[in-house]
Amino acid sequence: MTAKWVLSIALASLVGMAVAAVVVNNATSRDFDRLRIEREVDNVTTAALLYFAREGSLDGFSGMLGLRRGAGLGEASSRGGLPPGVVLLDAEGNIVTGMPPLAGGVPPAGMAFNTLSPVMLDDGTLIGQVALIASGPPLDPRDQIYLDNTARALMIGAFGAAAVAVAVGAVLARVFLRPLRALNTAIHAVERGDLKQHIDVRGSDELADVIRAFNRMSAELARVNALRRQMTADIAHDLRTPLTVIRGYLEAMTDGALTPSPERLAAIRGEVTILHHLIEDLRTLSLADAGELRLERQPIQPAALLADVREAFALQAEARGVTWKSTQRRTCRR
């Protein structure tokens, strides 16, 4: 059970971490692409402004000025060509540079640009636009290394988190499944016949309810077993008494100590009748336990019933000095 619990936690952790890693990696790549494109657009815009400030127009702008990260306009250095996928348009929308020369610099019909960033002077005059073709410029090798390292770190973090989850799950499984192991041990003890089983339980969850139900069942089984033993002892005692009387009469008559007489034979017959009633009572109890007891109603004479009861307890009443008296009303029904 513990292994299954830990395996479930491991699978859930791996799936969750994998989903989280994919989501984070996609979000990181998307944001990184956005920042990279914004950086390229800003560089081209700055280079175009520098060129326009020096030449007064964008005519002849075929290269761009590479800017060091954090550098100002006056610290630009020359670098040839625009990054692939980046296009510089003039104010009329004609292509200045960034792709093979076209007739008149007019973009082909149907060509659409993903991103358009205006190139404006300080006074708000529009002198051109920076556009992106398809998905923009390709990744710089350093950028690709950064993304690869990020993905690798996410993967390592996911597996590390899953390993920690498995370790914590194993510890928690031992704690949470401790009552279940105790219940399993108690059930095996009941199977071996040790019915007096009690499990300490705290809490109010479903497992605690099951253990409380087991404790009640175990206590009831122990009580029923004790009653069964007591009933067996009582039955043995009730059977032993008439058998002892019968045996005593028979041994005495066999040895010649007593001679058979109608009174003594009647006494033996009475003990046999008692044994017969006890056996019938046992049969009735067995039928009742099996749920097969059927009650058959028969009319009786109340006077005869009282007489039988009086006769059954006559000796005990006489020994204790009790006088029996029974009366019957004429209106007594059967």
Alpha-carbon gap, residue 215 to 199, rounded angstroms? 7
At 142, is the pLDDT very low, low, confident or very high (cuts 50, 70, 90)?
confident
CB–CB of 37/136 below 8 Å? yes
What was the pLDDT predicted at 111?
55
Main-chain dihedrals φ then ψ at residue 115, nearest 5 degrees? -130, 135
Q: Taking residues 68-93, what's their average pLDDT?
A: 56
pLDDT in tens, 163-192: 887 788 778 777 777 888 888 888 888 888
173, 157, 162, 214: which is closest to 190 by C-alpha? 214
pLDDT in tens, 84-138: 667 888 888 777 776 554 434 555 555 556 667 888 888 888 888 888 776 555 6
Q: What percent of the chain has pLDDT over 90?
A: 0
3-state secondary structure at position 127: strand
Alpha-carbon gap, residue 91 to 58, rounded angstroms? 10
Winning range, highest mean pLDDT, from 24-38, 58-72, 96-110, 220-234:
220-234
Measured CA distances, 164 to 10, 119, 177, 255 (Å): 9, 52, 19, 90
What was the pLDDT predicted at 74?
36
207-292 classified as CATH 3.50.50.60? no
Q: Taking residues 204-222, what's their average pLDDT?
A: 85
- Whether 77 has a pLDDT exceeding 80, the answer reads no
| 88: CB partners within 8 A, 6+ apart | 44, 48, 58, 61, 82, 95, 96, 97, 98, 119, 128, 129, 130, 131
At 63, is the pLDDT very low, low, confident or very high (cuts 50, 70, 90)?
low
Rg (CA), the chain: 52
At 7, is the pLDDT very low, low, confident or very high (cuts 50, 70, 90)?
confident
Domain definitions of the chain by residue range: 2-151, 207-292
Q: Taking residues 69-76, what's their average pLDDT?
A: 37
pLDDT in tens, 235-293: 888 888 888 888 888 888 888 887 888 888 888 888 888 888 888 888 887 887 777 77
Q: What is the pTM of this model?
A: 0.42
Output 96-103 pairs: Cβ under 8 A, ≥24 positions apart. Answer: 96/58, 96/59, 96/61, 96/128, 97/61, 97/62, 97/63, 98/131, 98/133, 99/133
Buried b (16+ CB within 10 A) or exposed e, 300-318: eeeeeeeeeeeeeeeeeee
Q: Residue for token digits 């936690």?
A: 9
What was the pLDDT predicted at 134?
60
Winning range, highest mean pLDDT, from 37-41, 44-48, 172-176, 285-289:
44-48
| 219: CB partners within 8 A, 6+ apart | 198
